[in-house]
Amino acid sequence: MLPTAFVFLACYIAGAVWLRSGALAGGAFAVTLYCAALVRSHFLVKQGRPAAATRVTGIWLLVMIAVGAPFLDFLYAALLLIPLAGVALALPYAERPELRRYLIAAFAVDAWVMVVHLWQPLHFEPLPLLLQNAVVTSAVLCSVGLTMRLFWVDAQRLRQSLRKAEEGLRTREEFLSIAGHELNTPLTPLNLRLQSMEKRLNASPASDDTLQALRDVGLMRRQIRRLSDLVRELLDVSRLSAGRLQLDLQVVDVGALVRDVTSRYVDDAAKAGSTLSLQFEGPVTAVVDPSRFEQIIANLLSNALKYGAGKPIHFSARSEGPFAQLVVTDQGIGISPEHQERIFEKFERAVPEQHYGGLGLGLYITRELVEAMGGAIRAKSTPGKGATFIVDLPSKRVRPDA
């Protein structure tokens, strides 16, 4: 594009000097302005500022048309408007708000081109036909070149940011996986030690000291479980992102599993001041990975305890066509409608950090697990009145050939 513009400029200057033509001198002036803009934009691209380069080239293309139009025939001047369309098409790829401003400028130039040709006193002697052809061709070529460069620069930028984003993601996943494993290693022996200490304390004669020590051990075990849960979330996220989730699908009794998991949370519920009630409509079966299903129940229950502390929590299950439906209802703080979808995304939370701890991963993992088992999960809530989580899971095995 740059060399083409300079060849045309040389032709203009040579023609203007040779023929001593005022019209050619005017044309040469217009093209000089544009060439200067092309040089500037060339350096802007080199500095990594493609949007600025496009802006400069686009604006000066308009200036060239405005300055050069009086020296052309009306038809040729009108033809010059074609490049405007090209540039206008290309600009959205740089920055959208600019397109609007550019179009306004383009229409102003359009009006100017029409005025200089309709208003007789401004009518100059037109350029020779050959040069008029050259002007229009060069302007069209310039705008096509501009458009193509814009596409190219844009594609480059897109590829670069995609590469960076992928690298960032990979590093994060690696970090999560390593950190998760490292954090997990000391937790298992620590828990075992505390368990045996608890046994010894239970076997020793009761005294104030023994009771206090038992209370301390209980607190430590609960904190360790919290830590293990967080570490498990981190490991699960890295497993899910790497597509390393393995499921062992079996037909399970939903009621039995819910009863089993909730019984492990009786102490936590008592501490939170919440009562747990269960209701199952007949035998409800689901085809799930039992340990993963337990994790789903535990996640929903610990959220209900965390965000609905002091209020009753209700579990119910029933068969709904080809699905087993599990519903967990609390009467806690609830979730406003705009957050009800978002909370199922990675690291998304709808509560202030200083009031409720957590990583914002539990529901993301829960949804991923439910979907991996062929089900769906959704939330319903009235803010301030509680939240209901509805989980649908297949109640029959789906044969691959079915």
Rounded alpha-carbon distances, angstroms, from residue 73 to 5, 21, 135, 367: 21, 16, 11, 68
Measure the CA–CA gap between 325 and 360, rounded to whole angstroms.
24
Site for ligand ADP in 356-385 (CB under 6 A): 358-364
- What's the closest the beta carbon of residue 351 comes to ligand ADP, in angstroms? 4
Listed residue (354, 324, 356, 331) closest to 343, CA to CA? 356
The residue with its CB nearest to ligand ADP is: 358
CB closer to ligand ADP out of 183 and 351: 351
Site for ligand ADP in 166-205 (CB under 6 A): none
Measure the CA–CA gap between 388 and 380, rounded to whole angstroms.
5
Q: Taking CB under 6 A as the rule, does residue 315 contact ligand ADP?
A: no
Cβ proximity of 137 and 8 under 8 Å: no
Q: Taking CB under 6 A as the rule, does residue 99 contact ligand ADP?
A: no
Measure the CA–CA gap between 163 and 169, rounded to whole angstroms.
10
Quick one: which of 5, 146, 333, 391 contacts ligand ADP (CB under 6 A)? 333
Quick one: which of 110, 236, 289, 330 contacts ligand ADP (CB under 6 A)? 330
Q: Taking CB under 6 A as the rule, does residue 68 contact ligand ADP?
A: no
CB closer to ligand ADP out of 287 and 304: 304
Q: Taking CB under 6 A as the rule, does residue 351 contact ligand ADP?
A: yes
Rounded to 5 degrees, what are φ and ψ at 358? Answer: 140, 160
CB closer to ligand ADP out of 96 and 355: 355
Q: What is the DSSP string of 178-235?
A: HHHHHHHHHHHHHHHHHHHHHHHHHHSPP-HHHHHHHHHHHHHHHHHHHHHHHHHHHH
Quick one: which of 157, 225, 314, 349 contacts ligand ADP (CB under 6 A)? 349
Measure the CA–CA gap between 180 and 306, rounded to whole angstroms.
23
Measure the CA–CA gap between 253 and 314, rounded to whole angstroms.
18
CB closer to ligand ADP out of 77 and 333: 333
Q: What is the DSSP string of 287-324?
A: EE-HHHHHHHHHHHHHHHHHHSTTS-EEEEEEEETTEE
Q: Taking CB under 6 A as the rule, does residue 312 contact ligand ADP?
A: no
Q: Taking CB under 6 A as the rule, does residue 350 contact ligand ADP?
A: yes
Q: Taking CB under 6 A as the rule, does residue 303 contact ligand ADP?
A: yes
Helix (H, G, I), strand (E, B) or coil at 390: strand
Cβ proximity of 36 and 60 under 8 Å: yes
DSSP class of residue 355 equals T
Quick one: which of 80, 304, 326, 369 contacts ligand ADP (CB under 6 A)? 304
CB closer to ligand ADP out of 64 and 176: 176
CB closer to ligand ADP out of 146 and 300: 300
CB closer to ligand ADP out of 229 and 253: 229
- Judged by CB under 6 A, the number of residues near ligand ADP is 21
CB closer to ligand ADP out of 45 and 230: 230
* Interaction site with ligand ADP (CB under 6 A): 303-304, 307-308, 330, 332-335, 343, 349-351, 358-364, 387
